[in-house]
Amino acid sequence: MLNNILTQEECQQMTALIKQSETIVITCHQNPDGDALGASLGWAEYLRVVFGKEAQIFIPDQYPDYLQWMPNTQKIVRFDKFQQGCEWTLKNCDLIFCLDFNTASRVDQMQQALCASPAKKVLIDHHPNPDVDAVLTVSRPKASSTCELIFRLVWQMGGFEQLEKNFAIPVYCGMMTDTGGFTYNSNDPDIFFIIGELLTKHINKDKIYRNVFHNFSEDRIRLMGYVMYQSLVVDSERHASFFTLTRDILKKFNFVKGDAEGLVNMPLQIKGHKLSISLREDTEKDNTIWVSLRSVDQFPCNEMAAQFFNGGGHLNASGGRLFCSMDEAINITKSAILAFEKQLK
């Protein structure tokens, strides 16, 4: 069994908010990942099946190809493609669910429309330091994923028995992707209780794993080989490394969105390694470098991301952005590793 995630009052408030609302929008962070998309799709399915509410899912920009197979992705609306319509709906809707982000800047170009909307907002998220003007905030930084929170909410609020695969698949997928296939941030026994329940909906978890993790194009696997061979810089003394993905390299391997996903985890397979950093040039905007950080044990990626890379995130997985050339980004990265040397050695 699971402990309640909401107080009795919060539970009533959540139910009332849903019931009272005519038009409901679900949003998640830019560059949506399996958890952001899974939580949005799972929650939309719950609202539809259990409350008879057709929520609209607005995402800031494209989601990666490797999530295309999830049920109901055709219902998702991209803000960057349908900006006017999304803006109108955000302005006129009753209720907005903010999933898998802690602060409005994480929805990037949708931020203004989201903040300006008079609709009531409910935040459901597992990143630390929630900072969204919401009538109800469900923030649980210890949770593996927002999808886990979605499951816990449904479990407490009731209606799980009415739900089927189209709920269980995206929710399982988000829990799986945010824990690297249950290899990190996943020691809470509740996670495995939840998985057991999701499996009663006859999902094929092995296939979900393959859909996500064994979904490479030939170009992607060659990019991985190239990067690990040619561009990885290892600081063995400090158990850290970084690699660059320049525009030229991305072009050489016909980069499509999502191809860089997971690369940053690979150097952590080096024995004793504690920190891995990826520096990826934006394919369109000059002087924009996307930074991803991954660590093991207690090394605080989020502190490093906040101090050096204009970002944040979780202890072991964070991201950020630099607005400079790749050479400068490399220098900043080297300084960051030096600054955190005590925690790396």
- Is 313 among the residues that bind ligand 5GP (CB under 6 A)? yes
- Is 244 among the residues that bind ligand 5GP (CB under 6 A)? no
Please, which residue, 178 or 281, has the CB nearer to Mn ion? 178
- Is 32 among the residues that bind ligand 5GP (CB under 6 A)? no
The CA-CA-CA angle for residues 13, 35, 245, to 5°, reads 145
DSSP-derived 3-state class of residue 104: helix
- Cα separation, 143 vs 46, in Å, equals 20
> Residues 271-310 vs ligand 5GP: string with x where CB under 6 A?
---------------------x------------------
| DSSP type of residue 141 | T
Burial class (CB in 10 A: 0-12, 13-18, 19+), 11: middle
Out of 198, 312, 322, 336, which residue is the one contacting ligand 5GP (CB under 6 A)? 312
Out of 241, 319, 322, 333, which residue is the one contacting ligand 5GP (CB under 6 A)? 319
The rounded Cα 69 to chain-centroid distance in angstroms is: 17
- Contact by Cβ (8 Å): 82, 55: no
- The piece of 30-38, 52-60, 106-114, 237-245 that touches Mn ion (CB under 5 A) is 30-38
Out of 113, 308, 314, 336, which residue is the one contacting ligand 5GP (CB under 6 A)? 314
* Cβ at position 248, least distance to Mn ion in Å: 31
- Contact by Cβ (8 Å): 2, 193: yes
239 binds, among ligand 5GP, Mn ion, none (CB under 5 to 8 A by kind): none
Nearest alpha-carbon partner for 64 in 43, 37, 45: 37
Out of 5, 28, 35, 198, which residue is the one contacting Mn ion (CB under 5 A)? 35
- Cα separation, 273 vs 276, in Å, equals 8
Binding site for ligand 5GP (CB under 6 A): 127, 292, 311-314, 317-320
